[in-house]
A and B are shown apart, each in its own frame.
Chain A
């Protein structure tokens, strides 16, 4: 396997800053925003995004708008795949009804995770709008889903692996791409 680092810590930080500005711009402020990370690595990314938003818009409180949304129970491959344990779902006390929910995930690939997340959201409440922010969009969608805010568009081959590490979980921030050795 050949590994190549696509984004380093500083670049990830800049990407999140830009996404924070984009989210505020399209929402015309921070009012009514709820930032939900999809476990595992979407959760710390959502946290950072909310903190950036709170820096830019001082009336926003990062703690009050951040949460996590577990999609384990809504996966379409639950019966087949390995034994999965649900991760926490934590919705801010204000709820999501009538709000603008920004879903945050690390990598957008087939789109199946996001489909499951939309189903999970519908069981929790009725947001005004749902936006999708991802750190990396690697293409190869199987469903008609696209991201509103993308840290980096990364054209990949289907057999390459994109992995995101974050300091909160893995000790360092990086996006790497690994390709199998040519035979």
Chain B
């Protein structure tokens, strides 16, 4: 593995290996010294052309726990506003000696461009590109699901998840599938790990060609809830910043038809975990009762994000120098 651009690049064994490494990384959070010396003397650049709280902080925490030096770059307040091109920014970073670049960009395919352009010859980690992919989010979701399915604590150190996949589980992804890079990455990774994926949302927010995806599609939330006993329900945020046209008549109708309302929440089977990639629009796609319930693993997802990103940085930066650079 040279870059982490898309979950479609991961085989089942790659994915299970990454999750297993993340299990060991999760142990570090409980130790006296919450640091490993693995990336000492290496520089990880967080290149964020789009706003983000948790992903940027999570990547920063992950790199720092591995003892790397972290340079944070956000497009706001940089020479990008003077018109600097992506190529020039990357070549500047290469000249400064970056060892890995974590990139988030509104343009789908930007990380792929960076990985193949030759502007910089270091591992590229996709931290979300447009409406394309967000592979580390999918990895942390699968990490959390693996824990929940095994009856283990959703985050923190635990025994028993190593080596397992998600075969036999059913996961619903609900909401704005069209604009969601989280959904795209999750559909591929969950399939690779053997889970059955059910997509639920308004027809206007389903991507073109969704019937080709390895997932079952429902336009009616209640039909889907009647047809399946879900191990987890993943509520997606309605991305108002990406909506330049009306995809549904009004927010109240969206909440009534596709939101996790108190009625739907109370009707869920007792073992169903409630997931959300954040930030949540409370009262819109998810009710406060569900968001604050003990079955919501939203904060565990955040905690696991650090462990998963540590695993990804470890895998991309370590051990492969001799083969990787050829």
Contacts and interface: CB of A to CB of B under 8 A. Distances in A.
A86 interface: yes
- Size category of the B interface is 10 to 19
B36 interface: yes
B123 to A, nearest CB: 13
Contact of B322 (A80, A87, A119, A123): A80
A130 to B, nearest CB: 16
A61 to B, nearest CB: 19
A26 interface: no
B318 interface: yes
Contact of B24 (A82, A86, A123): A86
B320 interface: yes
Interface stretch (B25-33, B215-223, B288-296): B25-33
Contact of B20 (A85, A89, A123, A125): A85
Nearest to B36: A73
Given A73-B36, A73-B37, A85-B21, A79 B319 contact: yes
B38 interface: yes
Contact of B31 (A74, A83, A88, A123): A123
Contact of B27 (A78, A81, A89, A119): A89
Contact of B37 (A74, A81, A82, A84): A74
Interface string B182-201: 00000000000000000000
Contacts of A73: 36-38
B321 interface: yes
Interface in B284-322: 315, 318-322
A122 B31 CA distance: 11
B35 interface: yes
A119 B37 CA distance: 9
Interface string A6-23: 000000000000000000
A88 B24 contact: yes
B17 interface: yes
Contacts of A87: 24
Interface centre among B32, B35, B162 (most CB of A within 10 A): B32
A154 interface: no
B32 A125 contact: yes
A70 interface: yes
A3 B235 CA distance: 61
A85 B311 CA distance: 10
B186 to A, nearest CB: 24
Interface in A55-83: 70, 73-74, 78-83
A43 to B, nearest CB: 14
A124 interface: yes
Contacts of A119: 37
Contacts of B37: 73-74, 119
B199 to A, nearest CB: 33
A123 B318 contact: no
Contacts of A85: 17, 20-21
Contacts of A81: 319
Interface of B: 17, 20-21, 24, 27, 31-33, 35-38, 162, 315, 318-322
Given A80-B319, A83-B319, 14 more contacts: A73-B37, A73-B38, A78-B319, A80-B321, A83-B318, A83-B320, A85-B17, A86-B21, A88-B24, A89-B24, A89-B27, A123-B35, A124-B32, A125-B32
20 contacts: A73-B36, A73-B38, A74-B36, A78-B318, A78-B319, A79-B321, A80-B319, A80-B321, A83-B320, A85-B17, A85-B20, A85-B21, A88-B24, A88-B162, A89-B24, A119-B37, A123-B31, A123-B33, A123-B36, A124-B31
